[in-house]
Amino acid sequence: MNFERYQIKSYSEYLSKYKKSINTPDVFWEAVAEHFLWHKKWDSVCLGDFKNLDIRWFEGGQLNITENCLDRLIPTHKNKVALYFEPNNVETPTRQYTYQELLDEVCLFAHVLKNNGVKKGDRVCIYMSMIPEGIIAMLACARIGAIHTVVFAGFSAQSIATRIEDCGVSFVIVNNAGIRGEKKLYLKSIVDTALNLVSDKQLVRKVLVVKHTEDAVDMVSERDIWLHEEIAKVKDMGLSFFPAVVMEAEDMLFIMYTSGSTAKPKGVVHTVAGYMIYANYTFVNIYQIKEGHVHFCSADIGWITGHTYLVYAPLSAGVQSVLYEGTPTYPSPSRLWQIVEKYKVKSLILAPTTIRMLMTYGTKPIEQYDLSSLKVINSIGEPLNESAWDWVHNHIGNKHAAIVDSWWQTETGGIMISSFAGITPSQKSYSTLPFFGIVPILLNDFGAKIRESNVKGHLCIKQSWPAIVRTNYSDHDRFKETYFSKFPNYYYAGDVAMKDKKGFYRILGRADEVLNVSGHRIGSAELENTIASCEAVIETAVVSFHEDIKGEGIYAFVVLKPNYKDYLEIRNQIIDKVAQVIGSFAKPDKIQFVVGLPKTRSGKIMRRILKKIANNDIENIGETSTIIDASVIDDIIRNKQS
């Protein structure tokens, strides 16, 4: 495939094409869609808008995303590598799959699913670490038309159970155990615990287990099956190729759960055609993909970045992707640079938190590695602060690689605001310009458009784009309420941003009660509910505070019931509870026991004040006259955690 022919090549081309993309989106996206493999072309390009919220792209079209990621590439990429697997331990042999081999594996896996009763529309939960079988499992679901919901392998059993119940999962795929750095993750046993927590014991019929390590697991008879045994059966049956199930453009491809401002995570639904086209087109243009491009996305498949820019977009663009199982610091903080040198990586996706963490080791771990292959360093998930930008630019990109800071969300499916590597200007701390078809707008608290430059506002999007979230699984009302009620007729992202004189956007952080810790999105209500479920706790408020490496840390203010005074013990209980209910990554960094929380007369907790205290910004606490009992603030400040 030659994707270069639909890539923009200059800033002026971006400017003229951008205008066309927003003025005549149907014409624009139709031309892009022509490059893909369809069983039947679409009847219309975009239907529905932000008023009726029945959004449909390429309606009437029929296709399968795996044919576009695999079969379509066979004539040109049959023997080219699609996936390099770099295991956690340096001594473990690496693996690689050509496009043909990956297609073969996906077909065998799809047969296994089918033989075990999985069919189009079924929901399949994937709880796996960063191994090729995780990607193969996703693609096999897509091939058969099952809807995957990948749960990040850091989530707890309780979180898995909640997700399984919410979308009615009937089939689970897991590896017996995973390895990350020095740590073993006993994933199968976590799934066992999760399934015990699911109230409908008939819901999950089968658990397919991938043997990744030598660790033994308990297999529940009638329910649990080994992948290698099932594949052997498929081969014995003489089956190999699996014809892709023909999907409607708007059939669901996957559900990805994400945190919002309420306690329950919501199931973000993406559909086949629009997602695929947008993922591919952003990738090819922003990363300026050329023949033989090697791409390394260090994000986990359990998050949207892994879905879009580790699995679907790179494969659909015929690049060679690197999948790395371990952590950036194992066995040493040189690991990522060793991988870049080994595979001659051209584009690298890094979270700012990883950059800041690696910065603490200085430049020594980098010095002996040749990073000259790197052309694009892409930062995703949090604001990339200036010192991190400088460090990457000077030491990783050696002043020649493009630093691309891309803003987007689980709900947007693909990158929304970003520079295009080496094509459009890149500016420190700015995500810069909107992608084709994206019309950002900044609104003030009253919904009026902010026209001046450098004024903060709510980042909203004015018109539909192909990969926009279609609904929240089985809760369309919540979808309408979350994204379209604060400012009717606009998609509300929940972020605060500003725009400079040149029209470049700078993302400043969340406006709502969502925390962004190491690039992980965590709802404060979700955390508060969990902490409040500890026996000793009356109530709690959770806010974020600035943390040098993680970007944001979690600060919990907790009011205890009378006579609960064993603070150390209660503190441990709270931390254990959060790890058990959500996952270890959501543990509070600071817990302060307080006599009360500052509240308005209507009983609303004044988080604004707590956030100022957590950030040591006590002089700027502001107006406190509306608080019922202002003395609690003095108490909180007096006993603040350093």
Q: Which residues contact ligand PRX by CB under 6 A?
A: 258, 304-305, 380-383, 405-410, 431, 493-495, 507, 510, 516, 521
Give the shortest CB-55-to-ligand PRX separation in angstroms.
18
The DSSP letter of residue 600 is: B
Give the shortest CB-313-to-ligand PRX separation in angstroms.
13
Q: What is the rounded distance in angstroms from the CA atom of residue 247 to the CA atom of residue 252?
A: 9
| Amino acid, res. 446 | F
Q: What is the rounded distance in angstroms from the CA atom of residue 84 to the CA atom of residue 319?
A: 11
In DSSP notation, 38-88 reads: -SB--S-SEE--TTT---EESTT-EE-HHHHHTGGGHHHHTTSEEEEEE-S
Task: Output 366 or 401, the one with its CB closest to ligand PRX.
Answer: 401
Query: Per this entry, what is the length of the chain?
Result: 642
Tell me the sheet residues that pair with 321: 83, 295
Q: Two tokens at 152?
A: 């990040």
Nearest to 335, CA basis, from 90, 627, 65, 558: 90
Give the shortest CB-493-to-ligand PRX separation in angstroms.
6
Three-state DSSP class for residue 158: helix
Nearest to 491, CA basis, from 470, 519, 517: 470
325 contact partners, CB below 8 Å, separation of at least 6 = 85, 86, 87, 88, 129, 130, 131, 178, 179, 180
In DSSP notation, 615-633 reads: TT-GGG----TTBS-THHH
Task: Output 339 or 380, the one with its CB closest to ligand PRX.
Answer: 380
Task: Output 460 or 507, the one with its CB closest to ligand PRX.
Answer: 507
| Amino acid, res. 292 | G
Task: Output 97 or 407, the one with its CB closest to ligand PRX.
Answer: 407
Give the shortest CB-297-to-ligand PRX separation in angstroms.
11
Pairing of strands 169-175, 183-185: unpaired
Give the shortest CB-267-to-ligand PRX separation in angstroms.
13
Task: Output 291 or 500, the one with its CB closest to ligand PRX.
Answer: 500
Give the shortest CB-300-to-ligand PRX separation in angstroms.
11
* Phi and psi angles of residue 126, each rounded to the nearest 5 degrees, phi first: -115, 120
Give the shortest CB-117-to-ligand PRX separation in angstroms.
33
Task: Output 280 or 516, the one with its CB closest to ligand PRX.
Answer: 516
Q: Is 126 in contact with 133 (CB distance < 8 Å)?
A: no
Give the shortest CB-191-to-ligand PRX separation in angstroms.
23
Three-state DSSP class for residue 165: helix
Give the shortest CB-509-to-ligand PRX separation in angstroms.
6
Cα angle, residue 326 at apex, residues 321 and 327 outer, rounded to 5°: 110
Q: Two tokens at 513?
A: 């009660």
Q: Is 466 in contact with 275 (CB distance < 8 Å)?
A: yes
Q: Return the residue nearest ligand PRX (CB atom).
A: 410
Q: Two tokens at 546?
A: 């600035």
Give the shortest CB-207-to-ligand PRX separation in angstroms.
27
Task: Output 328 or 381, the one with its CB closest to ligand PRX.
Answer: 381
Task: Output 303 or 555, the one with its CB closest to ligand PRX.
Answer: 303
Task: Output 204 or 514, the one with its CB closest to ligand PRX.
Answer: 514
Give the shortest CB-352-to-ligand PRX separation in angstroms.
8
Q: What is the rounded distance in angstroms from the CA atom of residue 117 to the CA atom of residue 234?
A: 14
Q: Tell me which H or E stretch contains 33.
A: helix 25-33
Give the shortest CB-408-to-ligand PRX separation in angstroms.
4
Task: Output 403 or 493, the one with its CB closest to ligand PRX.
Answer: 493
Give the shortest CB-24-to-ligand PRX separation in angstroms.
28
Q: What is the rounded distance in angstroms from the CA atom of residue 315 to the CA atom of residue 323?
A: 12
Q: Which ranges in 361-485 belong to alpha helices (H)?
A: 364-367, 386-391, 476-484
Give the shortest CB-2-to-ligand PRX separation in angstroms.
28
Task: Output 437 or 519, the one with its CB closest to ligand PRX.
Answer: 519
The DSSP letter of residue 36 is: S
Task: Output 109 or 127, the one with its CB closest to ligand PRX.
Answer: 127
Q: What is the rounded distance in angstroms from the CA atom of residue 627 to the CA atom of residue 613?
A: 15
Task: Output 71 or 405, the one with its CB closest to ligand PRX.
Answer: 405
Task: Output 38 or 505, the one with its CB closest to ligand PRX.
Answer: 505
How many Cβ atoms from other residues are within 10 Å of residue 447's Cβ? 13
Q: What dihedral do alpha carbons 170, 176, 178, 182 form, nearest 10°?
A: 140
Give the shortest CB-156-to-ligand PRX separation in angstroms.
18
Task: Output 158 or 409, the one with its CB closest to ligand PRX.
Answer: 409
Q: What is the rounded distance in angstroms from the CA atom of residue 229 to the CA atom of residue 280?
A: 35
Q: Is 167 in contact with 150 (CB distance < 8 Å)?
A: no
Tell me the sheet residues that pair with 40: 62
